[in-house]
Amino acid sequence: MASTINLKRRIISIKNTSQITKAMQLVSASKLKRSQDYALKSREYYLLAKELSWRLSQKREALTQPMFLKRELSSKLYVIITSNNGLAGSYNADVIKILTKSLSEDQALNIKSDIIAIGKKGAQFVRHLKENQMIAFYPEFSDKPTANDLRPLLSTILGLFRENKVNQVDLIYTAFHSTISQTALKTELLPIQINLDDQVYPQKSETLTNFEPDIETVIDQIAERLVEAELFQAVVDSKISEYSMRMLAMKNATDNARDLIDDYTLELNTLRQSSITQELAEISGGVEALKE
């Protein structure tokens, strides 16, 4: 059994740690609220962009446009969104797990894989991969990213795709559903493929639409904005998911610290009681010896 001094030290150490985890929980909760409000403002635009993408993809002219054209798959580009810091549960691990599985499948099919990493945790993992190349690294974006913040990343992705250096671009990020539900997933960013839920976007009869100056020009100019909307929503969703998962992870750590403190306090009290009982027994034995 540990000594009382060691138990006291452990209790003090755990209390100090629980104060840190509690503070991190509160900070994450505050950042989550701000980021969630910011993300909700852009979600309506994102959903409208998805619907517009679907409508454009139904046009015969879209089938010949580079951004919508399906290509023979010989090379892929993965854009992974992770964080700069840990202590966020399985946030980074889930993204890396999907990336690892995808790379293994590409290797089996002899598909060349390149990677753009967003966040230090993803970059650290990719640097240890011998057979895959990280062609770009972007630090974690701010809580309220803007279109200008994403412009370098967007330009890199579009440039590689338009120059046929990659045939497909997959985005791996963490989608936010609620504070207790987040899902790491992989979605095809390029070429633009639209699969909308009929319950959200019911099939509508096609209406007569005029395009100025022509449909090809409109599709070409609008496609970049659609990719930007998809990328932007993935970034803000990932940020919300990170704060949500860190908040829950720190809450669990704080609760576990309290349980440990209770266990060690009980052990300390038991040890003290045993020591007091032993001292009383020794005193009683001494008194009896003096009487004799």
Q: What pLDDT, in 10s, does the model give residues 44-55?
A: 777 777 777 677
Q: How far apart are CA 250 and CA 36, in angstroms?
A: 19
Q: How many CB atoms lie within 10 A of CB 271?
A: 15
Is the pLDDT confidence value at 23 over 90?
yes
Q: Is the peptide bond before 66 cis (omega within 30 degrees of 0)?
A: no
Q: How many CB atoms lie within 10 A of CB 101?
A: 11
What per-residue confidence (pLDDT) applies to 135? 92
What per-residue confidence (pLDDT) applies to 41? 76
What per-residue confidence (pLDDT) applies to 121? 94
Q: Which distant-in-sequence residues (6+ apart) come within 8 Å of 63 by Cβ? A: 69
More confidently predicted of 228 and 50:
228
Q: How far apart are CA 161 and CA 158, in angstroms?
A: 5
Q: Is the peptide bond before 139 cis (omega within 30 degrees of 0)?
A: no
Give the rounded percent of residues in the chain with a pLDDT score beyond 70. Answer: 85
Is the pLDDT confidence value at 166 over 80?
yes
Is the pLDDT confidence value at 196 over 50?
no
Reported confidence tier of residue 198, pLDDT bands at 50, 70, 90 = very low
Is the pLDDT confidence value at 216 over 90?
no
Reported confidence tier of residue 173, pLDDT bands at 50, 70, 90 = very high
Q: What's the rounded mean pLDDT across residues 122-140?
A: 88
Q: How far apart are CA 166 and CA 106, in angstroms?
A: 13
Is the pLDDT confidence value at 169 over 80?
yes
Q: How far apart are CA 128 and CA 100, in angstroms?
A: 12
From the list 140, 137, 136, the residue with the least C-alpha distance to 149 is 140
What per-residue confidence (pLDDT) applies to 33? 84
Q: Which distant-in-sequence residues (6+ apart) come within 8 Å of 107 by Cβ? A: 113, 131
Q: What's the rounded mean pLDDT across residues 124-140?
A: 87
Q: What's the rounded mean pLDDT across residues 247-264?
A: 93
Reported confidence tier of residue 260, pLDDT bands at 50, 70, 90 = very high
Q: What's the rounded mean pLDDT across residues 247-251?
A: 93
What per-residue confidence (pLDDT) applies to 201? 45
Q: What is the pTM of this model?
A: 0.82
Reported confidence tier of residue 208, pLDDT bands at 50, 70, 90 = very low
Q: Which fold has domain 26-195+208-247?
A: Pyruvate Kinase; Chain: A, domain 1 (3.40.1380)
What per-residue confidence (pLDDT) applies to 202? 44
More confidently predicted of 208 and 92:
92
Q: How many CB atoms lie within 10 A of CB 248?
A: 18
What per-residue confidence (pLDDT) applies to 57? 65
Is the pLDDT confidence value at 134 over 60?
yes
What per-residue confidence (pLDDT) applies to 195? 54
More confidently predicted of 163 and 52:
163
Asked which of 104-108, 144-148, 183-187, 231-235 is least confident by mean pLDDT, the reply is 144-148
Residues in the chain: 292
